Structure 1
Amino acid sequence: MTDSTDSRAEHNRRLVVHGFTEFAAGNTEILRTLLREDFIEHSPGNPSGRDAFIEFISNAPVANARLELRRVVADDDHVVVHYRMTTPEDERGTAVVDIWRLVGDRIVEHWDVVQPVPADEQIPNGMF
């Protein structure tokens, strides 16, 4: 990789981690500065478009959940975050992998994989 590719990946990683940290602290408005207006959502049931997505996600369980970031992987224009989402009603939680594609300083696309965290005896090597 070239230095410019490495620095773009690191720049994108910092943008997404900052946004994740702000969102996890309850600041859903951070998404207005991160998502492009024509944002494309690939998750079933979630709307595309910045404003529609923000309205949807602000009212979704994730907006009030505890988010524990476990790892971040970044390449040229994609950033992948792996985290645990828990609520008082579900302390075992959910494992989530979000994939964000960026152009410039904006997120333009999102995919995710979501899986309930099973009981410890079902995952002897750990989920995270």
Structure 2
Amino acid sequence: MIKTRTLALSLVLALGATTLPAAQAAEAQPAAPAKSHVHDTAAANKALVLNAYQALFGDHDLGAVDRYWAKDYIQHNPYMADGTEAVKQFVEELGLLQGPKFKVEFLRVAAEGDLVFVQTRQPKMGANPEMVIVDIFRVANGKIAEHWDVMQAVPADKVNPRPMY
């Protein structure tokens, strides 16, 4: 009898939970993990960045800088200084506020922890060519705290037919 139980137990362990009756197999499965704090934080950061980006660049709302950017904001773009006043100055110097308001075209958006990655397309504006832009934002304490970007003009003499985005 003991040999039979030991053999049966060995078979169950060797073959896995698939040999258990359905009710026992269901009980043996671990519960799904609760939504993680990291996921919640990433989702909140993503929403903050998308709202900030649309408000500033699409809606031309300079007040968005005060609402969404940290006062000690760090900028890695070599053509911009740190701080919120530098963001406002840069947007004004670009002449963005004189152009028409528009819905920002978010091509790709991803968030992980305190980082949010955004790929956008800026349409041709006057003498400026169509641009593809990748921005990376770090969020801290509910504000945009740091920024990196890569910008590339869409060339007129492309070698392949695929869009850059």
Q: TM-score range by the shorter chain?
A: 0.7 to 0.9
Deviations 1:82-126 (A, max 9, x none): 001124325850100011001120111111000001237434222
The number of residue pairs the alignment matches comes to: 128
The structure 2 residue matched to 1:58, chosen from 92, 101, 104, is 92
Question: Once the 2 structures are TM-superposed, how far is the Cα of residue 52 of structure 1 from its aligned partner?
Answer: 2.3
The question of 1:31 aligning with 2:65 is answered yes
8 Å contact from structure 1 (residues 99, 111) kept in 2:
yes
Q: Which has the larger radius of gyration?
A: 2
Query: Structure 1: which 4+ aligned runs deviate by more than 3 Å?
Result: 61-67
Higher relative contact order, structure no. (Cα contacts within 8 Å, ≥ 6 residues apart): 1
Return the structure number with greater helix share.
2
The question of 1:108 aligning with 2:141 is answered no
Runs of 5+ in structure 1 lacking a partner?
none
Which stretch of the first structure deviates more once superposed, 70-79 or 113-122?
Answer: 113-122
The structure 1 residue matched to 2:52, chosen from 15, 19, 23, is 19
What is the percent sequence identity of the aligned residues? 28
The structure 2 residue matched to 1:48, chosen from 63, 67, 82, is 82
TM-score by length of 1: 0.86
Superposed CA RMSD: 2.3
TM-score by length of 2: 0.69
Q: 1:54 to 1:122 in 2, by over 3 A?
A: same
